Every structure is written in C-alpha cells, then in structure tokens.
Amino acid sequence: MHASAPSRLLTPDSNPHIAAPDLSAVRILVVGDVMLDRYWFGEVSRISPEAPVPIVRVEKREERLGGAANVARNVASLGAHVGLLGVVGADEAGEQVAQLLAESSIHSYLQRDSAISTIIKLRVIGRQQQLLRIDFEDAPTDTVLRDKLTAFNSKLGQYDVIILSDYNKGSLVNVADMIRSARAAGKVVMVDPKGDDFSPYAGASILTPNKSELKRIVGSWNSEQQLADKAQALRVELGLDALLLTRSEEGMSLYSAHEILHMHAAAREVYDVSGAGDTVIATMAAMLGAGMSMADALITANRAGGIVVGKLGTATVTRAELFGAGL
C-alpha cells in the first residue's frame, strides 16, 4: 500500500557536504503565466483627509519578472540555461518583460497577444511593508494558446527539465497535452499547480502544491499520518513520481512510492514570502537536472527557500549563496 512508505526526517544540516553541481549544461524550459511585478516605494507620513488610508509619496520604482518569468529568473540566477515560453500583451509592459528577460540571460519564447494586456501586479510599499497590491490581468486568446502549444512541442527536444508554472491566469489550458508530450519525450516535468482540479496535471514527474492548494483538493487533515495517506493517494491517482508539499514555517514534505522525506524549514528571518515557491521549484529542477539525488535536491531547494524569504519581493538566490562558505 502507498501509505506504508517509510518516513525520514531531514534537517538543513542533514548533508552539509553537498557539492555544488555543474549547472551550465542543465537546460530547463519554463512554461506558464508570465507577469510583470511593479514595486512603488515611498514614505508614509500622514493619513489621507479623503479616506482613512495612508498617503504614500512614491520615491522609487522597480520592475521585476513575475509569475513563470520569476521561476525562469531563479533558474538563470543559479547558472543553468533557461528558456521561457509564455504570453504577454503587445504593450509597454510586454516590452519591459522582454527587456528584463534579456538582461537576465533568459531565452525568450514570448508569444505576443494584441487582444490582451500583459499581466501586472503593482505593489505599493511604505515603511518596508506592502500596503496595497493592484492586479491587471486578461486571459490569452485561443489563437495565441494554440500557437504556444505548437511552440512548446517544437522546443521540447532542446531541454532536459520542463517546469509548468500555473498561476491560474489562462496560459496553461493545454497543460495536459504539454505533460503528455514532455513525458513521452523522456523529460522530467515539474508542475506548480493551482485551482480546484489537479487532474490536468496527471502524469507529471513532481507536483509542488502548498498547504492551502493541497487542502482544496484532498480536504484538511488532523495528523501527519492522515496527511501522508491523502498525499500518497493523490500521488497514485495522478500517476506522479513524487508530490512535494511546501509547508511554509513547517518546511517541506516529499511523498514518493519509496519513502516520505520531511524537511525542516531553513528560514533564518522571514521578511517576505512572495515568490518563495518559485525559488523552490526552480532550485529543485536545476539540482535534479544536474543529477542530484531527490533528498539532496530537497535539502538544497529548502535552503534556497530559506534564503529568499529574507529578501523583499520576488527575489532570487545565487549559486554562491547556496554553496558558498558558511552555507
């Protein structure tokens, strides 16, 4: 039975001698919902006379890659070769995404959709705290999505690992076809899932839901054993090699047919959790692509997540931070 898999507890120091792998030959294709993250930083010194809200006097603006593009940015930061396939609008924000991809050495396969606007998440930051987030988003058109699936199939042979980053914005309606094609081609397929139905992700190598995402599918649990039973049942039902549950301050748990690996959280100081899941899946994919064992890849990905939550906004981790002295 699936529930009988032995359980093993890992800590950030379980294997302190993990060698830094050569990632230069690892080729990862990221596919999914591409976004532009905009940050407006300012001072807050008074409350508006019009409504009980703070007035933010904007002093600095930043733009970063978001969504699937942030996953690709994390892969590039580690030194692996990465391509990004996604949809943006034929607009200024789409141009900005393309420019940021070029600056991050990410190979762009962006599909331009003139009928939509590029997805933007605008965050207003005052006193080092997020005060407001404003989202601009449209779903891609059917024609562009068909073109994207054709592009995916044409690029598949050039990559070792496929990451499907689903933010439920409409770019991955063909995800089941992509998984079938990639698995038939012998690729490792990692999926960051969303929504109330995980059946389109059937056949993937590894699924990486967080706690709230998993609860929407399997319901709540009252014990580790009950969680293990539900996670393993879902893994078997979907035909996954493994299910990686990210559990914020509780760390991570990886469920496979052979064993269950529990990983303590490695965060030294939590500053901002946005984008941490992107860092975890990117690091895990890069390490597995380089031939690292599942356990060592999990330890390394956990370490990366612990580093990135100590940074503001959607951030990345470098190879030096992961494998340098003292880490």
CA distance 279 to 266: 13
Q: Is the pLDDT of residue 272 over 60?
A: no
Other residues' Cβ atoms within 10 Å of the Cβ of residue 180? 13
Q: Is the pLDDT of residue 95 over 60?
A: yes
Compute the average pLDDT of residues 115-135. 94
Q: Catalytic residue among 113, 160, 278, 296, which? A: 278
Other residues' Cβ atoms within 10 Å of the Cβ of residue 128? 9
Task: Quote the pLDDT of residue 247.
Answer: 87
In this prediction the pTM is: 0.92
CA distance 111 to 105: 18
Q: Where are the domains of the chain?
A: 2-37+65-323
How big is the chain by its Cα radius of gyration, in Å? 20
**CB burial of residue 298 (10 Å; 0-12, 13-18, 19+):** buried
Question: How would residue 314 be classed by pLDDT, with cut points 50, 70 and 90?
Answer: low
Compute the average pLDDT of residues 86-115. 97
Is 91 a known active-site residue? no
Q: What is the mean pLDDT of the chain?
A: 91
Q: What is 2-37+65-323's CATH superfamily?
A: Ribokinase (3.40.1190.20)
